[in-house]
Amino acid sequence: MKTNIEVMFVVVLLLLNVVAGGFFLYLIFTIQAPDIHAEIELVDVFSDELHLKADLSVSNPNPFDLNVRNIKITSLNDDDEFTRFSFSGGSVGASSDASFGTKKNISFSGNLPRVLKNTVSADVGVKFLGLIEKVISVTAVVDISLEEFLNKSLIPDVTLRAGIDDVTEEGLLFYASVKVENPSNLEVLIDDIEGFVVTEEDAVVGHIQIDGGLISPQETSLFDATGLLHFDALDAHQLFIDIDGRITAEIAGLSQTTSLTLSSILDVPDLAEILHLDNETLDFTLAAEFKVRLRGLRTQVRFRVYNPTNIPLEAKNLVCSVYGLTDNASKLIVEQAMNPCTISSKKDVCIHTDFIMPYLKVLTAGSGRFFPQWFGITIVGDFSIQGTDQVIPISINGYVDPHIFT
């Protein structure tokens, strides 16, 4: 009886070995390598530390569970090891997906590489009855570009403000203010900031140079400067200010530079506003003198104007007219063009003209009567800044009692 039991036990063991061996052979010939996707992300860069994030995604195509373990990451700078770390894996169900990840802060000293080559390795296996295991080693290579990361992190939030500040004899003084917010954890340098003001026809009418400087991590800096706008900018329909510069970050021997470009519309200043920058006004004085002559009444009209601004002005397109005024009616007696004249800053200029008013026109200038009640004197024309087409129309009126001749 004892012998039969021993025989049966041996038979069972043989059957188990055959089954296990068969399953082992089945695993060897039928197990499919899982689909492995490794991703290593550079999360942030500090002056002495890198923040990395590693993820391993495993897709199991087999009808049985797989076990992922011994996940290791080795980072190389050229052929030298830069860092090494590992993290835990786990089980991946049959015909399903799973992800494993970790975050790692890597301290460093010395120079940083421009590119880190990262090798990700792991062991993927399956066990039968806790005794037999089939293991496959998988690897993946992932490159991290520190240059690319720095380029992305060097994209600042930049705003530009510009306007007309003052006026001088050389041109219009304008300002530009560039506000830069540094979103990175690195100190950055802003330099070579230069701006041009152009018209809608791309004619350059102004230039500005802005001194840059260092911006601390997560800080905001303001860079201001002034420039000179040519007077012909007043003839433009629209003005644009274009600013270019450089943003540079340096970390552990690695320097990365990206360009800074922005533009804005600069309002074309109104000449009337420019002439009243200091709440001053143009002062006009109009006077007339009449003398009896053989051919008619010689008329001398003097037009004096004071320029309170800091810019030279030009009086042009001036026409002097004399009317006969009776009640609400007027009758033109004579019209005379006047020569243009430049009026320097803070100066006054007397513009004058002489002409003869025929006696017949004077005597018949009244409406419904022999002689007008008044002589009306009008000077119309334009004021402009020399060299520009933008003008301010002017009209000056005066009255003279004609009875001084009777």
Rg of the chain over Cα atoms, rounded to whole angstroms, equals 45
What tokens does 341 get?
């004249």
Question: Do 133 and 193 belong to one domain?
Answer: no
Read off the pLDDT of residues 30-73 as tens digits, 9 standing for 90 and up: 667 788 888 888 888 887 788 888 898 989 888 888 889 889 98
Residues in a beta bridge with 320: 336, 379
Q: Is the pLDDT assigned to residue 129 strictly greater than 70?
A: no
Is there a domain that residue 9 lies in? no
**Does 146 lie in the same domain as 42?**
yes
| Residue 69 domain flag | yes
Q: Is residue 13 part of a domain?
A: no
Helix (H, G, I), strand (E, B) or coil at 191: strand
CATH number of the domain bearing residue 166: 2.60.40.1470
**144 and 158: one domain?**
no
Contacts of 328 (CB under 8 A, 6+ apart): none
Mean pLDDT of the chain: 80
Instruction: Give the domain extent around 219.
Output: 154-269
Cα 251 → chain centroid: 26
| Same-domain pairing of 169 and 186 | yes
Q: Are residues 36 and 126 in the same domain?
A: yes
Alpha helices in 31-161 (DSSP H): 146-153
Say whether both 380 and 261 belong to one domain.
no
Burial 123-157 (b: 16+ CB within 10 A, else e): bbbbeeeeeeebeeebebebebebeebbeebbebe
- Is residue 23 situated within a structural domain? no
Say yes or no: 128 and 159 in one domain: no
- The pLDDT > 90 percentage for the chain reads 6
Give the pLDDT confidence score for residue 321 in this predicted structure.
92
Name the strand (E) or helix (H) holding 29: helix 2-30
Tell whether 286 is covered by a domain: yes
Please give the model's pTM, rounded to 2 decimal places. 0.59
Helix or strand (DSSP H, E) at 378: strand 374-385
C-alpha 179/C-alpha 223 separation (Å) is: 6
Chain centroid to Cα 363, Å, comes to 70
* Per-residue CA distances from 285 to 282, 376, 397 (Å): 10, 15, 10
DSSP 339: -
Instruction: Report whether pLDDT(222) > 90.
Output: yes
Domain closes at, from 120, 151, 182? 151
Tell me the C-alpha distance between 241 and 222, whole Å: 17
Q: What is the pLDDT of residues 280-320, one digit of tens each?
A: 566 777 788 888 888 888 888 888 888 877 778 888 899 99
Chain centroid to CA 116 = 33
pLDDT tens sequence across 136-183:
787 878 888 777 777 777 678 888 888 887 777 788 888 888 899 988
Determine the length of the chain.
406
As for how many domains the chain has, the answer is 3
Whether residues 189 and 131 fall in one domain? no
- Does residue 10 lie in a domain region? no
Residue that has been written with the tokens 């007077």 in this structure: 231
Give the pLDDT of residue 281.
61
Residue 46 within a domain? yes
Q: Given the DSSP bridges, would you call strands 341-343 and 329-337 parallel, antiparallel or unpaired?
A: unpaired
Beta-carbon-side half-sphere exposure of residue 382 (alpha carbons within 13 Å): 11
- The distance between the two most distant Cα atoms of the chain, rounded to a whole number of Å, is 170
Read off the pLDDT of residues 266-283 as tens digits, 9 standing for 90 and up: 888 776 666 655 555 667
Q: Does residue 244 sit in the same domain as residue 209?
A: yes
CATH of the domain at 367: 2.60.40.10
Highest mean pLDDT (candidates 127-141, 234-248, 295-309, 388-402): 234-248
